[in-house]
Structure 1
């Protein structure tokens, strides 16, 4: 499947873009990068014998790839032309979706107004924004062990001091 997938990816890359880079992933899939259009296509074997998972995404500034924005299952027996048509559809869906801000991926909507902070990085209520005031289970375990040691010490050695 891997050799066939590599050959299919090379043919597909020639149909989609004049300038492209084809490379193999660690998972056995093949990636086609079109740097001039800032898009990538990934072909990965799926659970089916003759099926391939096609994913499309963007290439961010600096050359890193954004997560896939669209994907589809395609039979390899359908031919390279059918596969190219599916890839073009996925690429058009990728171009139609708005770009995510750098470093944020596909998270939900962000808060419009940031939380107000005082000069020392604390929230107005006085607590730090990153830590909670709750005592953790490990802290309680340490307290119980220390109390037990003090109790045992006073039980055994306390009678000598009286």
Structure 2
């Protein structure tokens, strides 16, 4: 199955991307990396004898890979065309998940159902990894409490300077 996966991955990579790297995973699957599109595709043997699990994800800034965004099971006997179509669909889904919002424009509205499903996926993922999710704050803006502390410290310093000036 490994040799067949490697050959299929080489052919698939040639169809999808001009520039690509194909390598074998430790688990026996094959990964196609497209650095120029910042995406990766993984082909791994699935539960069935003639089935392959196709997973798609992003390549992050440092060159590391993000977890898979989408996955599907495809029969190898369907051919490279069907496999390429599935990969294109998964790649477009993964790209839609992280589409950047232009500055000054609001993000598209989501239905309550899609918000709930994303929230449940996120909580399941955090439970699995054992890490708590980071609370969504306001970013790197200085909060009111920090400003209050800074004003108090500045007041104490001003009072000290004033009192030493009056003694001298």
State TM-score, norm by structure 1: 0.64
Mapped to 2, the partners of 1:12 and 1:34 lie a distance apart of 12
Does 2:7 correspond to 1:7? yes
Aligned-pair distance for 1:18?
A: 0.5
Mapped to 2, the partners of 1:10 and 1:113 lie a distance apart of 45
**Runs (5+) with no aligned partner, structure 1:** 100-104, 120-162
Runs of 4+ in 1 over 6 A off after TM superposition: 114-117
Alignment of 1:11-160 (within 5 A): 11-98=11-98, 110-112=135-137
Matched with 2:108 is: none
Mapped to 2, the partners of 1:59 and 1:38 lie a distance apart of 5
Mapped to 1, the partners of 2:79 and 2:137 lie a distance apart of 48
Q: Computing the radius of gyration over CA atoms, which structure comes out larger, 1 or 2?
A: 1
Aligned-pair distance for 1:62?
A: 1.2
**Runs (5+) with no aligned partner, structure 2:** 100-121, 127-132, 150-168
CA RMSD of aligned residues (A): 2.6
Question: Whose helix proportion is higher, 1 or 2?
Answer: 2
Aligned-pair distance for 1:110?
A: 2.7
Figure out how many residues of one structure are paired with residues of the other and give that number. 114
Structure 2 CA distance for partners of 1:113 and 1:39, relative to 1, 3 Å: closer
State TM-score, norm by structure 2: 0.62
Mapped to 1, the partners of 2:136 and 2:17 lie a distance apart of 39
